[in-house]
Copies of this chain bind each other. A is one copy, B any other.
Amino acid sequence: MTVIPKETLIGRRIPKLDAPAKTTGETRYINDLALPGMLHGKILRTDRVHARIVRIDTSAARALPGVHAVITAADTPGVPLGHGRDNPPLKGDRVRTIRDEIAAVAADTEAIAAEALRLIRVEYEDLPAVFSVHEALRPGAPVLHDRHPDNIPFTFDYSHGDLAAGEQASDVVIEDTFKLHYVTHCCMGVSGVIATFDTTGQLTIYSQTQIPFLYKRDIAPVIGVPPDRIRVIQPPLGGGFGSKLDIYPFEPICVFLARVTQRPVRILFTREEEFIASPTRQPVEFTLRSGVKKDGTLMFRDARTLHDNGGYTSWGATTPFVMMQTISSLYRVPHCRYHTTVVYTNNPYAGSFRGYGNLQATFAVESHMDRLAEAVGMDPLALRLKNAQAPGETTPQGMHFITCGLRDCLQTAAERSDFVKKHATNRAGQTGPIRRGIGIASLVHVGGGANIYRTDGCGTILKLDDFAQATVLTGASEIGQGSETVIAQFVAEELGLPLTSIQVVNNDTEITPWDVGVHASRTTFIAGNSALRAARKARTKLLAAAGQQLGADPATLDLRGGHVVDATSGEARLEIGKLIRSLHFAGKHEVVMTTEYYEPPSVMQDREFKGNVSATYAFGTQAIELEVDTETGVVRIQKVTAAHDVGRVINRLGIEGQIEGGVVMGIGYATTEDLMVSEGRVLNPCFRDYKLVTAPEVPEIDTTFLETLDPHGPAGAKGVGEAPAIPTAVAIANALYNATGVRFRELPFTPEKVLRRLREAAEGKP
């Protein structure tokens, strides 16, 4: 008798299924794809920040041998794209940012295309430009888009409670203005796209998009191809992080070139182009006013933010959706107001970026929690614990925390880092140029999708082949976050099969069922639930069939190690492959195929931005220890103690990677990364001048996972893709205060800026 003990894949350390291919170079990124007859496209971008286009002369470029097409706005329908539908793919009359696209070339080689760009002559008439939100809001400021003569494409207003009453009831009120800077995603794989029409007019786009199904709908009117004639294939991504959530001009331009040439065309950015012409994280000026009672009870928050939208409106403009959640709901606050003004300028424009406004909002909120604590003489941990949300609460914004590990996260991070003692000791005063500091900060973020469309679901189709192989066609996109592996784990677990028997297929709108896309840390939760349910249906069929064959109640059977086993004794009764073959080749001739469309139990927010927008929420706390050299301004992060409420660990290796990657991204945001934009121009479009945190600079990261076992989560899991990047920067700011007694309200903490701020403070600026 063979006994197969009950074991679980859930929580184990599983190398990502796509890792071997990626580490050996087998993975074919878009850079590696070549369709037969493929041409190479390049885009001519303007060198003006704001100008009228008087004339474009492409004749010399057209005449260059090897050039197949040169197009300008005149050759295109001119339908604007992007979240704000204000950005024509090629600009015909006017440019508003230095990334603006004015012509494009398709040629036999990239070199010829680049040469052709140099031959295009453009005559401009410069227009007055604005480079700050304040300038842009001034009466009489140059207007960027006629539709918005005030340069304000959006405002957001949220409130609950009675702000005046809240202020009245507060013993301490503080106000600060924080300035959050430009950074960009720095995906290791640059932006690229391939477009090709077949002889019937069907368009296939090899796109790096994070939203393949919405992409079809969104790009269709821009390119004049009906969405049902568009197929989106996603090659493996060299990084997404939210940067591929919108459609950017190079994509329809590539389609136009493919249409004109009737050849496949690829556009692939140079690294410099990637820095200049891919989205940024939303830069924000954030004014926060908060009040507490003497006992530390938080009474109100009043937030006013100014968003530099750049020249066009992409998803960056919508980050207030997320920002307001942290303002209203990370801690209990009875009175709250949030107002955002999004302002056009001639600067680069912002897209979505891991955390989606939450890094900025959390920076303000968690800076204030420290300041309020100090003002009422409490320990920062104590103030937070006093006001922290708890399981079962529904916040005034309507977010319902069925599970909430915030208090546990705070306590765990504090205990494991010895926060209270170290914080107090550091504050007691240090001498010498090198000062030690510890800071703490928490986060709340959606962890079960974000119901911003009218569905937030994901489809799965599962089929079992004769040899107990499962193919899982999932709508979810693997963009490096490890979703394939997690989905395979869920299916393998349900079906009692080894991971090698699970093939996850996830890259082609023609084949896979619908999904919203990769955003809002939703994939493990939503695609996971979808796959799990599809697998459970298959499990039920297998167990029913096994029960019949074995003359046993299916409830007494289990699937383990490729076998049907007795659930109690673990005795192997039947090989699953054999069971599948017996179903297929005998009797009713059944082939096990199941489908599932999972829709999470969340709702769209109402017009007041209220409603339980996610099926669950992720929480976390990071305590960060650092040293700052007060003579050089150099900040050295020494240790990050992270405690995250992840619902349940599915792939321990994967989630460790998510946490570590997020923390490192947060450290970069705080200390090294700075997209320097001056008068609309990016000054440092290269990795020499734009500094990423690299491996040697990564500090010790101590991670604890708090498993709150969300009742809606697949095996209890919550989404955590974005969470770990969120509180890092402000924990560092709080640590800097702890080290130096100086409050840092502007990012990044590069040596120069730290030194300048220390001197300012020494000169009395608070």
Binding site for B on A (CB under 8 A): 20-21, 23-24, 26, 28, 32, 36, 198-200, 213, 216-217, 226-229, 231, 453-455, 457, 459, 461, 463, 465-469, 471, 473, 500-501, 503, 505, 509-511, 513-514, 577, 584-586, 588-591, 593-595, 597, 599
Partner among B20, B21, B24, B511 whose Cβ is within 8 Å of the Cβ of A511: B511
A589 and B593 within 8 A (CB): no
Nearest-Cβ distance from residue A500 to partner chain B, whole angstroms: 7
A200, A216, A585, A588 — most chain B CB neighbours (10 Å)? A200
B457 and A589 within 8 A (CB): yes
B595 and A594 within 8 A (CB): yes
The 7 closest A-B pairs by CB, nearest first: A228-B467, A589-B599, A593-B595, A20-B199, A454-B585, A591-B597, A228-B469
B24 and A199 within 8 A (CB): yes
Q: A473-B511, A500-B229, A510-B471 are in contact. Are A466 and B213 (CB under 8 A)?
A: yes
Q: A36-B28, A510-B503, A589-B597 are in contact. Are A228 and B465 (CB under 8 A)?
A: yes
8 interchain pairs (CB within 8 A)? A20-B198, A21-B200, A32-B36, A228-B468, A228-B469, A459-B593, A471-B511, A511-B511
Q: A585-B453, A595-B594, A595-B595 are in contact. Are A199 and B513 (CB under 8 A)?
A: no
A593 and B585 within 8 A (CB): no
| Complex-state Cα separation, A501 to B229, whole angstroms | 8
B198 and A26 within 8 A (CB): yes
Complex interface: chain B residues within 8 A of A589 (CB):
455, 457, 597, 599
B514 and A505 within 8 A (CB): no
Chain B: CB-nearest residue to A32: B36
Chain B: CB-nearest residue to A584: B455
| Complex-state Cα separation, A475 to B112, whole angstroms | 45
Chain B: CB-nearest residue to A457: B589
What 8 additional pairs, Cβ within 8 angstroms, besides A457-B591, A505-B510? A26-B199, A217-B466, A228-B465, A228-B469, A463-B513, A466-B514, A505-B511, A511-B511
Complex interface: chain B residues within 8 A of A586 (CB):
454
| Complex-state Cα separation, A514 to B21, whole angstroms | 28
A20 and B200 within 8 A (CB): yes
B593 and A465 within 8 A (CB): no
| Complex-state Cα separation, A500 to B201, whole angstroms | 10
Complex interface: chain B residues within 8 A of A471 (CB):
510-511
Chain B: CB-nearest residue to A590: B597
| Complex-state Cα separation, A216 to B471, whole angstroms | 15
Nearest-Cβ distance from residue A264 to partner chain B, whole angstroms: 10
| Complex-state Cα separation, A227 to B580, whole angstroms | 14
Nearest-Cβ distance from residue A756 to partner chain B, whole angstroms: 50
Partner among B454, B465, B473, B597 whose Cβ is within 8 Å of the Cβ of A514: B465
| Complex-state Cα separation, A584 to B217, whole angstroms | 14
Partner among B21, B457, B468, B591 whose Cβ is within 8 Å of the Cβ of A198: B21
Complex interface: chain B residues within 8 A of A199 (CB):
20-21, 23-24, 26
Chain B: CB-nearest residue to A503: B510
A513 and B591 within 8 A (CB): yes
Nearest-Cβ distance from residue A203 to partner chain B, whole angstroms: 13
